[in-house]
Amino acid sequence: MTEVLELKKVVKQLQGASSPEDAANILRILKKDFKVTESILRESKAGLAVGKLRTHASKEVADLAKDLVKKWKTEVEKAKATTSPSPTGTYPLSPQKFSSAQSASSNGSSAPKAEVRTAKSDGAKGATGDQTRDRCTEMMYDSLVLDSSHPTALVEKRARAVEASVYKEMGSSTGADYKAKIRSLFVNLKDKNNPSFRESVISGDTPAEMLATMSTADMASEDRKAANRKIEEENLFKGLGAEEQQAETDAFQCGRCKQRKCRYRQQQTRSADEPMTTFVTCTNCGNRWKFC
Ligand SMILES: [Zn+2]
């Protein structure tokens, strides 16, 4: 693409600028003459080159660079807003509609908190006769039923269907791929920040067959997706390699002090198609947490 080539040339000039005045002039040209998209920025590395200059010793250069990054961020965001599918594309975020089984705790005694339901406590079971598969069905049940008030029979039916679809998708085998997929579903379904995902599986809005082929990104909650998008955008200007550290961001809110001043680093802890683990530290109160 000619735009990318052109931009690359100017980026090179910027990197080889002989004086702050020179760099400032090139930054002005970049601002005036170039329209960018995410892919153009990525390919030309212009985001990184300009991002770096935000801490330049010359105030003029630093200010121009900040200004340009802001402009480009806006352009990238705008482009995304017009091209990305509706935020509820993958599964409908149906409101929590617990119609049938809300009577459980109406026995007068003030039970302090609903106990966490499990396959064991509910007596739910797999129906394949295969020990591994039935065990995995129970894992699916555990992850789905967690905070649910749906009847055991319904959740059991879904858990069995999810397990069956994974089994089928993995070539009717309970090998490593099957186990990895079950584990990934278990983690994502259980995610306490993602009740809408559980709910959509139980209600049938997200068909069990779909889960076998769903990516981790598709399973993420809308909050998480928004945070991921923000990280991606910031990485565009910060040159964060997968293991480079501690970028500051307002993409996360600290659960303790509710501020949005956090640093994070990401680490690939498992295979490449698994998500990276993100370690977050609140710079305000020191709270730490991680997620993947
Ligand atoms: Zn905090």
Q: Does any domain span residue 170?
A: yes
Tokens 């983690």 -> residue = 187
Q: Does any domain span residue 152?
A: yes
* Ligand 1 centroid to residue 247 C-alpha, Å: 16
Q: Which residues contact 8 (CB under 8 A, 6 or more apart)?
A: 44, 45, 46
CA angle 182, 146, 112 (to 5 degrees): 160
Mark whether 84 and 9 lie in a shared domain.
yes
Q: Does any domain span residue 71?
A: yes
Mark whether 1 and 105 lie in a shared domain.
yes
Mark whether 204 and 283 lie in a shared domain.
no
* Ligand 1 centroid to residue 117 C-alpha, Å: 31
Contact at 8 Å (CB) between 233 and 76? yes
Mark whether 80 and 139 lie in a shared domain.
no
Q: Does any domain span residue 234?
A: no
* Ligand 1 centroid to residue 279 C-alpha, Å: 14
At residue 187, the pLDDT reads 86
* Ligand 1 centroid to residue 76 C-alpha, Å: 30
Q: Does any domain span residue 233?
A: no
Q: Which of 216, 212, 219, 217 is nearest to 194 (CA)?
A: 219
At residue 101, the pLDDT reads 37
Domain boundary among 83, 111, 139: 111
* Ligand 1 centroid to residue 262 C-alpha, Å: 8
At residue 141, the pLDDT reads 96
Mark whether 4 and 103 lie in a shared domain.
yes
Domain count, the chain: 3
Q: Does any domain span residue 56?
A: yes
Contact at 8 Å (CB) between 159 and 140? yes
Q: Does any domain span residue 6?
A: yes
Q: What's the pLDDT band for 79 if we cut at 50, 70, 90? A: confident
Tokens 């579903």 -> residue = 185
Q: pLDDT (tens digit, 9 = 90+) per residue, 11-70? A: 999 999 989 999 999 999 999 988 888 888 888 889 989 998 998 999 999 999 999 999
Asked whether residue 83 carries a pLDDT value surpassing 70, the answer given is no
Tokens linked to 151: 């009847």
* Ligand 1 centroid to residue 251 C-alpha, Å: 13
Domain boundary among 223, 254, 271: 223
Q: pLDDT (tens digit, 9 = 90+) per residue, 219-259? A: 877 777 777 777 777 766 665 444 445 667 788 888 889 88
Mark whether 262 and 207 lie in a shared domain.
no
Q: pLDDT (tens digit, 9 = 90+) per residue, 128-154? A: 999 999 999 999 999 999 888 899 999
Q: Does any domain span residue 91?
A: yes
Mark whether 124 and 102 lie in a shared domain.
no
Domain boundary among 73, 96, 111: 111
Tokens 């779909």 -> residue = 210
Q: Which domain holds residue 137?
A: 116-223
CA distances to 147, 150, 245 from 192, rounded to whole Å, are 9, 17, 26
* Ligand 1 centroid to residue 63 C-alpha, Å: 30
Residue-wise DSSP of the chain: -HHHHHHHHHHHHHHT-SSHHHHHHHHHHHHHH----HHHHHHHTHHHHHHHGGG-SSHHHHHHHHHHHHHHHHHHHHHHHHHSPPTTSSS--------S-TTTT-SSS--SSPPPP-HHHHT----SS-HHHHHHHHHHHHHHHTT--S-HHHHHHHHHHHHHHHHHHTTS--SHHHHHHHHHHHHHHH-TT-HHHHHHHHHTSS-HHHHTT--HHHHS-HHHHHHHHHHHHHHHHH---TT---EEESSS--TTT----EEEEEE--S-TTSPPEEEEEETTT--EEEE-
Residue 159, phi then psi, degrees to nearest 5: -60, -45
CATH number at residue 23: 1.20.930.10
Mark whether 102 and 148 lie in a shared domain.
no
Mark whether 124 and 172 lie in a shared domain.
yes
Q: pLDDT (tens digit, 9 = 90+) per residue, 156-213? A: 999 999 999 999 999 999 999 999 899 889 988 988 878 888 998 999 988 999 999 8
Q: pLDDT (tens digit, 9 = 90+) per residue, 260-290? A: 888 887 765 555 555 677 778 888 888 888 8
* Ligand 1 centroid to residue 191 C-alpha, Å: 21
Q: Which of 98, 152, 144 is nearest to 121 (CA)?
A: 152
Q: pLDDT (tens digit, 9 = 90+) per residue, 102-121? A: 333 344 444 445 578 999 99
* Ligand 1 centroid to residue 245 C-alpha, Å: 19
Mark whether 36 and 121 lie in a shared domain.
no
Q: Which residues surround ligand 1, an ion (CB under 5 A)?
A: 254, 256-257, 282, 284-285, 287
